[in-house]
């Protein structure tokens, strides 16, 4: 019979169920909790060792078990940290384990302090990988773009947890041809543009968009800033950069312009801002090797 190792409560392992600490646990309790996970009564359990356990020259922080999405198998995660730097964290994960395999792994872990060999598992979190370079510049940049609360909250989550943010918005990134193998900075820069679009701060237009569609999209942004747009202002034979210049010339006296954020695509991501703010945004973007400029220059 599996899980026949301990009948008494183990004080050297702490149990957490759905984020609530339960204290010490027995192997039999863990076994029953696996059934509860599969039946959807609980979402996950976490086992944390009281004693230090080595994992490939690192140290075990905890193991976590939850149900795979879409089937009755289990997802198993192992969190480790550098022995000399507890903030250097790597979490390995793998799905597709049946109950017997999970039971075996937990038995070996609790009885003999043998951690599953996770060297070939997916890295689901790496603290070294998520430290965004120039994060303070990014924070200054988004605050200069807008004071929209939802926009700023979503960007703050991206700054703090970029890989989780990527997973939550994987479909959006896939549409832009971006994968989890791209650089963290790419995730963040694209997030700036996409969250502007989601919050209604910006609009995205194909490079060959017709005048009517351009007018309709820009008018929505202009109304938010009490700016006037009408068909007579624009040359019928123009294109997006030339139309943006024509509107810039009209709005100059009010201190507004149309800006563009370069995301290396064949579309234009456009937003309206104060000309003074654009100067600052241009410098901030340049300092992190990106580009925001007058849309007429895009």
Q: What pLDDT, in 10s, does the model give residues 14-40?
A: 999 998 998 888 777 888 899 999 999
* The residue count for the chain: 298
Residue 2: pLDDT above 70? no
Window from 1-15, 122-136, 183-197, 226-240 with minimum mean pLDDT? 1-15
Q: Which residue has the tokens 């479909």?
A: 171
Q: Encode pLDDT of 100-114 as tens digits.
A: 999 999 999 988 899
Rounded distance, CA 113 to CA 59, Å? 12
Rounded distance, CA 112 to CA 118, Å? 17
Q: Rounded to whole angstroms, what are the CA distances from 54 to 15, 51, 61, 113, 221?
A: 20, 10, 10, 9, 56
Rounded distance, CA 170 to CA 179, Å? 8
- State the average pLDDT for the chain: 90
Q: Rounded to whole angstroms, what are the CA distances from 244 to 48, 100, 196, 241, 251?
A: 58, 64, 19, 5, 10
Longest dimension (CA), the chain: 83
**Do the beta carbons of residue 271 and residue 259 sit within 8 Å?**
yes
Give me the DSSP letters along 6-61. --SPEEEEEEEETTEEEEEE-HHHHHHHHHHHHTTS-SEEEEEESS--EETTEEEE
pLDDT for 11 equals 57
Q: In the 8-state DSSP scheme, what is residue 260?
A: E
> Which three-class secondary structure state does DSSP give residue 184?
helix
The arithmetic mean of pLDDT across residues 245-255, rounded, is 95
Q: Encode pLDDT of 265-284 as tens digits.
A: 999 999 999 999 999 999 99
Q: Encode pLDDT of 42-61 as tens digits.
A: 999 999 998 889 888 899 99
* Residue 91, strand partner residues: 79, 125
Segment holding 245, helix H or strand E: helix 240-251
> Which three-class secondary structure state does DSSP give residue 248?
helix
Q: Encode pLDDT of 60-108 as tens digits.
A: 999 999 998 878 899 999 999 988 878 788 899 999 999 999 999 999 9
% of residues, the chain, pLDDT over 90: 68
pTM of the model: 0.61
Residue 127: pLDDT above 90? no
pLDDT for 4 equals 41
More confident residue, 159 or 133: 159
Rounded distance, CA 142 to CA 155, Å? 8
pLDDT grade for 7, boundaries at 50, 70 and 90: very low
Cβ neighbours of residue 190 closer than 8 Å, sequence gap 6 or more: 173, 176, 178, 263
Q: Encode pLDDT of 214-241 as tens digits.
A: 999 999 999 999 999 988 889 988 999 9
Residue 164: pLDDT above 90? no
pLDDT for 130 equals 64
pLDDT for 148 equals 96
**Do the beta carbons of residue 269 and residue 261 sit within 8 Å?**
yes
Cβ neighbours of residue 43 closer than 8 Å, sequence gap 6 or more: 18, 37, 66, 67
% of residues, the chain, pLDDT over 70: 95
């Amino acid at each position: 019979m599996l899980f026949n190792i301990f009948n008494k409560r183990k004080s050297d392992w702490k149990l957490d169920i759905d984020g609530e600490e339960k204290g010490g646990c027995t192997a039999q309790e863990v076994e029953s909790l696996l059934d509860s996970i599969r039946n959807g009564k609980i979402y996950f359990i976490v086992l944390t060792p009281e004693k230090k356990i080595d994992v490939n020259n690192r140290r075990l922080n905890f193991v976590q078990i939850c149900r795979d999405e879409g089937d009755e198998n289990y997802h198993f995660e192992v969190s480790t940290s550098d022995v000399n730097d507890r903030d250097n964290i790597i979490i390995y994960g793998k799905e597709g384990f049946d109950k017997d395999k999970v039971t075996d792994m937990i038995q070996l872990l609790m009885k003999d302090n043998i951690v599953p060999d996770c060297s070939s598992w997916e890295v689901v979190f790496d603290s070294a990988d998520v430290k965004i370079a120039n994060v303070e510049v990014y924070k200054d940049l988004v605050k200069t773009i807008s004071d929209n609360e939802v926009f700023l909250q979503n960007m703050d989550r991206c700054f703090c947890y970029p890989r989780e943010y990527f997973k939550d918005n994987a479909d959006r990134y896939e549409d832009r041809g971006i994968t989890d193998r791209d650089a963290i900075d790419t995730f963040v820069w694209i997030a700036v543009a996409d969250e502007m679009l989601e919050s209604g701060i910006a609009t995205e237009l194909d490079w060959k968009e017709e005048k009517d569609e351009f007018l309709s999209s820009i008018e929505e942004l202009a109304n938010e800033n009490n700016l006037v747009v009408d068909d007579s202002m624009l040359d019928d034979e123009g294109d997006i950069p030339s139309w943006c210049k024509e509107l810039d010339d009209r709005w100059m006296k009010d201190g507004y312009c149309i800006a563009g954020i370069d995301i290396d695509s064949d579309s234009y991501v456009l937003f309206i801002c104060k000309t003074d703010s654009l100067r600052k945004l241009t410098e901030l973007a340049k300092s992190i090797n990106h580009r925001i400029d007058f849309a007429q220059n895009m």
